[in-house]
Amino acid sequence: MWILKGNCISIVGYNRGIIYNLFDNSYYFIPKTFAKMFQKSAVFNKKLQSEDSLNFFKDNKLIIEISKNQIRQFPQVTPEYINKNDFEHVVIEICNQNIETIDLIIKKISNFKIKSIEFIFSDNVELDFALTIINKINLELNIAKVITLKYDLFLRISEKINLNTIDYVKTYSCSEENKLNLQTSKYSYLDANYWKMNETKLFFNFDFFAEAISYHVKFNQMIFIDKNGNIKQNPLGNSVCNYMKLNKNFLTNNIFTELWYVSKEKCHVCKNCEFRYMCVDARIPLKINDNEYYFKEECTYNPYICKWQGEEGYVPVEECGTYGKETGFVPDKEKIEKLNQEIWKE
């Protein structure tokens, strides 16, 4: 008999499935029936085996041939996310504040275990001020560091100091020409569409997947401290308190941590998407009830017809069902079936 390897994980979408291979972080689209079968049991059901299907799984090294009594040797273990930090990501807005204020904020958050910290420099930040901040965080913070700043400021800073100690640099207001230079593993650019998903933004590795199964990777244990020192769940959210009041009690405060527990499984449309464990979605989830959330903005991928915006046959998600404030998104199965027949007919 054939069995799905332990490092391969099957995910069911509305219209098709995906197999994630945790060995090399690759993924393969598979028919929904196969994805469902593998989600139920790792054993490759003989009824679904054909020469083509077997060859596909064999060629991609997703399955292995074993005997019946060897099944127990192939446990299907789901990666487990182990939370070791108080905050996964802390974002601090920098806008020519008083340097003492920044000092106090850094001191305050140093009391917490943090995985990464991001400094967003507003477009009016002076060069000297930015240099002081970067030197300070290099000296005082021994965690993953990200900076977001205007492209011009980035150039001027790069001339003065080495940015090697910064783990990731995002720039904005960048010309088309310069964008090309920034597409490396350490640098990227932000434009008006930065929050929109596209195929190139899909991301997959073990840690990401382990976190994404249970949490929304963008908002899980994230806090945002704005230029006035107000703490928010996200840049557009309401202020919860001032940074001075930040203490360990906040880690159990339901209002403060609400978005930390929103997983993609709780989000309408996303829960039907085969990419749900590989996407960093910047849209803010809106609550319907404790177990259901929806998004005001539409995603650029429609999981009901497996098409990206711009692809032939693409229709927005709203045409595949109905949106309501209380119901969220309700897919119209008949309509979707019709659309799929039209799009995917031979």
Partner 1 sequence: MNIFRPRVSKTIKKILKKGSTVPLYFITVHKCEKLKNTNQKYNKKYVSYKVLTIVFAILSGFNSFSQDDIFLNYYENVNIAEMNIVNKKLDSAIYFYDLAFPLTEKPMVKDIHNALMCAVSIKNNSKTQDYLEKITLKNLNPNYYKRYKLTKYLTKNQFKNIKERYKRKINSYVYQFLDSLQNEDQKIRTQENYLKFHYKIIATDTSNYNCYIKFLENNDFPDESQTINYPNQQRIDNILFHHWFQTTHWFQMQKNNVDSLIIKQIKEFNIANYHYANFYDIRNGSFVGKPNYGMVFFVKYKHNVKLLNFSKEDLIQINKNRKDLGLDTRENSIIKTSFFDKSKIFIFQNYGQTIIFSGGKTAEEQFNSLK
- For partner 1, the binding residues (CB under 8 A) are 5-7, 22-23, 64-70, 72-75, 77, 79-80, 82, 206-207, 210
Query: How far apart are alpha carbons 145 and 306 in whole angstroms?
Result: 36
- C-beta closer to partner 1: residue 75 or 310: 75
Q: Is 120 helix (H, G, I), strand (E, B) or coil?
A: strand
Query: How far apart are alpha carbons 344 and 336 in whole angstroms?
Result: 12
Q: Kindly provide the b/e burial profile for residues 66-75, where b requires at least 16 CB atoms within 10 angstroms of the residue's own CB.
A: eeeeeeeeee
- C-beta closer to partner 1: residue 189 or 208: 208
Report the nearest approach of partner 1 to the CB of residue 56 (Å).
17
Say if CB 209 and CB 264 are below 8 A apart: no
- C-beta closer to partner 1: residue 267 or 278: 278
- C-beta closer to partner 1: residue 211 or 292: 211
Report the nearest approach of partner 1 to the CB of residue 42 (Å).
12
Report the nearest approach of partner 1 to the CB of residue 76 (Å).
9
Report the nearest approach of partner 1 to the CB of residue 44 (Å).
14
- C-beta closer to partner 1: residue 66 or 95: 66
- Cβ neighbourhood burial of 234 (10 Å; 0-12, 13-18, 19+): middle
- C-beta closer to partner 1: residue 69 or 238: 69
Query: How far apart are alpha carbons 20 and 227 in whole angstroms?
Result: 40
Q: Is 346 helix (H, G, I), strand (E, B) or coil?
A: coil
- C-beta closer to partner 1: residue 70 or 132: 70
Enter the DSSP assignment of 185: S
Handedness of CA 317, 323, 328, 334 (dihedral sign): negative
Report the nearest approach of partner 1 to the CB of residue 234 (Å).
27
Report the nearest approach of partner 1 to the CB of residue 300 (Å).
30
Q: Is 208 helix (H, G, I), strand (E, B) or coil?
A: helix
Query: How far apart are alpha carbons 78 and 98 in whole angstroms?
Result: 47
Query: How far apart are alpha carbons 270 and 273 in whole angstroms?
Result: 5
Of 291, 299, 250, 245, the closest CA to residue 270 belongs to 299
Report the nearest approach of partner 1 to the CB of residue 112 (Å).
19
Contacts of 263 (CB under 8 A, 6+ apart): 212, 213, 214, 215, 216
Residue found under tokens 């709780």: 266
- C-beta closer to partner 1: residue 80 or 100: 80
Report the nearest approach of partner 1 to the CB of residue 272 (Å).
27
Report the nearest approach of partner 1 to the CB of residue 143 (Å).
13
161 φ, ψ (degrees, to nearest 5): -135, 160
Say if CB 322 and CB 328 are below 8 A apart: no
- C-beta closer to partner 1: residue 59 or 176: 59
